[in-house]
């Protein structure tokens, strides 16, 4: 019985001490793509009742892996449609990051605690729709410092 207990303790210690795997968000090859030409368009005309997408973290310049947290807010009784969320890395051509982020998407927002990116600056656009089909968008820049 003591031996089984000891083996269990050792196994638990090994699991806890193993380095956690970060989730790749942008690869080295994608980071080398040229930036978009001209200005990045953001469709925010007039007063909209569409959902709000708020960039929460990370802060100014962080090292990788880092938390990527966004908050969704809907209005007028509508609900956020998590299946409508689309995440693009704005490059030429744009890189669709949606499949990489999808496991971390909920109606409340995106909570990806271990996003892995190479050092650099990355402009990302997040689109979402509510249950009434109204769109919401935000564009933000991730600044990743060298390790």
Per-residue b or e along 66-93, where b marks 16 or more CB atoms closer than 10 Å to that residue's CB: bebbbebebeeebebbeebbebbbbbee
**DSSP code of residue 63:** P
Instruction: Return the pLDDT at 22.
Output: 86
More confident residue, 126 or 10: 126
Report residue 50 as tokens. 């569409």
pTM: 0.79
On the question of pLDDT at 118 being above 70, the answer is: yes
Are 49 and 76 spatial neighbours (Cβ–Cβ below 8 Å)?
yes
């Amino acid at each position: 019985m003591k031996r089984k207990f000891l083996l269990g303790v050792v196994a638990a210690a090994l699991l806890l001490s193993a380095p956690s795997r970060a989730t790749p968000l942008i690869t080295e090859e994608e980071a080398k793509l040229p930036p978009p030409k001209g200005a990045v368009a953001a469709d925010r005309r007039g007063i909209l009742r569409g959902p709000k997408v708020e960039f929460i973290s990370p802060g100014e310049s962080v090292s990788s892996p880092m938390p990527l947290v966004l908050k969704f807010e809907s209005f007028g009784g509508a609900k956020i449609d998590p299946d409508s969320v689309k995440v693009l890395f704005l490059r030429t051509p744009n890189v669709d990051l949606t499949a990489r982020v999808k496991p971390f998407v909920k109606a409340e927002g995106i909570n990806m605690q271990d996003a892995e990116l190479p050092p650099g600056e990355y402009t990302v656009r997040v689109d979402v729709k509510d249950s009434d089909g109204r769109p919401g968008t935000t564009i933000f820049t991730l600044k990743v410092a060298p390790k």
